[in-house]
């Protein structure tokens, strides 16, 4: 636990609360220097070999400053390579640990294989594709590493409302997968998917709750400063109660997140529950935050809208609440005989 506090302190020092969305390039280098790119990589592969607690603490702090650096897709990409039996595994692990970027996509892909074995279609939800040395994607034949610039590989940015991040579509047009860059085949793909999904849900949940806490802090600070009717608006009980509910939602989701961080028996759907509850809490908090800021909350100039936009995107990444609530309902119904 002491280690965790040290990690959080270091993160807050490197990424101070006052600076929202610091430069992508500088953040990436700083994260690499701090060893965060290989925080989950086993020690025998040259990583720090830290557990889920450590990455959760880091993503929480990155959410707090609306980080622009794509640490979540990078961690998942590296995780996929590390868990694979790829022929060029150690070469790529070294490159990624050294600061090169190979993201996993956080939205579903729409791909088809030709009879000749080439792959065409679109991989959605790729963060900062123009920074990437390679991409990790689930192809019809299993998970693969796709070098950026390989024949048949292109990407284009799709502008999103959330300006703290950048999303790209990766387009494959007759891409011929390289057998030396195959991570796992179709048989092992579901297991790797579940492994990565668990990591992704925890990371996104942490991002949501860090950012939600920062949005709440900002809102309360504003309410204490803003005076109307001769008193700070934070004194009005009607508004206080809303702030209390915002805090309660964050604390409740945090409890589920940390339970799931430590619960190694949880199903994929139970891991998704942590992300669902956290993303919904984040969205609800930011929805209230804009209202409680009043007119200034509608201006581009005030940063509170940036939290709301990140929240709305986070709701959609790795499965929407509708998707996971239904799955959780089915799973519980099957289990509760």
Partner 1 sequence: MTDTPELEALRSEVRAFLAAHAPRNWRAASRAQSDFVATQRAWFARLVEAGYAIPHWPAEYPGGGRSLAEQKVIYEELAKADCPRLLLSFVSTYHAFATLHECGSREQQERYLPRILEGETWCQGFSEPGAGSDLAAIKTRAERKGNVYVVSGQKVWSTMAQFADKCLLLVRTSSEGAKQAGITYLLMDMKAPGVSVRAIHQIQGDEEFAEIFLDNVEIPVSERVGEEGRGWAVAQATLASERGLTLMELSYRMRGALGRVARLIRQHGREEDRGVLRDFGALTMQVDAVCALADRFLDNRIRGIERAGDASIVKNSYSRALRAYSKLGLRLGGMDEQYVAPITFGDLNTGNWMADFMNSYAWTIAGGSEEVQRNIIAERMLDMPREPKDWSL
Residues that bind partner 1 (CB under 8 A): 220, 223-224, 231-232, 234-235, 237, 240-241, 243-245, 247-248, 251-253, 255-256, 258-259, 270, 273, 276-277, 321-322, 324-333, 336-337
Residue 97, SS3 per DSSP? helix
Nearer of residues 183 and 253 to partner 1, judged by Cβ: 253
CA 276 to CA 280: how far, in whole Å?
6
- Least separation, in Å, of the C-beta of 23 and partner 1? 32
Report helix, strand or coil for 229: coil
Instruction: State the nearest-atom distance from the C-beta of 251 to partner 1, in Å.
Output: 5
Residue nearer to partner 1 on the CB measure, 77 or 319: 319
In angstroms, give the least distance from the CB of 326 to partner 1: 5
| Nearest CA among 288, 281, 265 for reference residue 208 | 281
Packed helices 268-293 and 321-335: angle between N→C axes, nearest 10 degrees? 140
Helix spans in the chain (H):
2-14, 24-33, 52-64, 71-82, 89-97, 189-225, 237-262, 268-293, 304-316, 321-335
Closer residue to partner 1 in complex, CB, 6/217: 217
Shortest approach of partner 1 to residue 308 CB, angstroms?
A: 20
Q: What is the rounded CA–CA span in Å between residue 127 and residue 27?
A: 15
The nearer residue to partner 1, 136 or 271, going by C-beta atoms, is 271
136, β-bridge pairs: 104, 145
Residue 335 DSSP SS3: helix
Question: By C-beta, is 287 or 331 nearer to partner 1?
Answer: 331
The first and second tokens of residue 283, run together, are 């969205």
Q: Which is nearer to partner 1, 191 or 244 (CB)?
A: 244
Cα separation of 278 and 287, whole Å? 14
Residue 113: CB minimum distance to partner 1, A: 31
Kindly tell me which of 108 and 332 has the beta carbon lying closer to partner 1. Answer: 332
- Min separation Cβ 9 and partner 1, Å: 17
Residue 324: CB minimum distance to partner 1, A: 7
Q: How far is CA 62 from CA 49, 93, 208, 261, 321, in A?
A: 20, 23, 10, 17, 22
């Amino acid at each position: 636990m002491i280690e965790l506090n040290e990690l959080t302190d270091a993160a807050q020092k490197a990424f101070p609360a006052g600076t929202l969305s610091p430069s992508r390039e500088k953040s990436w280098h700083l994260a690499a220097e701090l060893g965060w790119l290989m925080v989950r990589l086993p020690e025998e592969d040259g990583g720090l070999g830290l557990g889920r607690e450590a990455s959760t603490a880091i993503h929480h702090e990155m959410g707090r400053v609306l980080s622009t650096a794509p640490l979540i897709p990078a961690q998942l990409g590296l995780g996929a390579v590390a868990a694979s039996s790829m022929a060029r595994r150690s070469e790529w692990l070294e490159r990624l640990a050294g600061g090169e970027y190979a993201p996993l996509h956080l939205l579903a892909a729409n791909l088809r294989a030709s009879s000749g074995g080439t792959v065409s279609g679109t991989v959605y939800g790729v963060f900062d594709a123009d920074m990437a040395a390679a991409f990790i994607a689930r192809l019809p034949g299993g998970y693969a590493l796709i070098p950026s610039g390989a024949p048949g590989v292109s990407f284009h940015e799709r502008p999103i409302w959330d300006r703290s991040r950048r999303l790209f579509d990766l387009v494959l047009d007759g891409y011929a997968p390289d057998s030396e860059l195959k991570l796992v085949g179709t048989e092992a793909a579901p297991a790797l998917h579940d492994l990565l999904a668990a990591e992704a849900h925890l990371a996104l949940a942490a991002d949501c709750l860090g950012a939600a806490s920062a949005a709440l802090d900002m809102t309360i600070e504003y309410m204490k400063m803003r005076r109307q009717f001769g008193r700070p608006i934070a004194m009005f009980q009607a508004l206080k109660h809303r702030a209390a509910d915002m805090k309660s939602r964050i604390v409740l989701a945090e409890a589920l997140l940390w339970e799931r961080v430590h619960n190694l028996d949880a199903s994929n759907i139970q891991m998704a529950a942590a992300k669902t509850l956290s993303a919904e809490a984040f969205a609800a908090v930011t929805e209230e935050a804009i209202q409680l800021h009043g007119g200034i909350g509608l201006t581009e100039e005030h940063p509170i809208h940036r939290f709301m936009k990140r929240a709305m995107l986070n709701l959609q990444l790795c499965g929407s609440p509708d998707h996971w609530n239904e799955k959780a309902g089915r799973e519980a119904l099957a289990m509760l005989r």
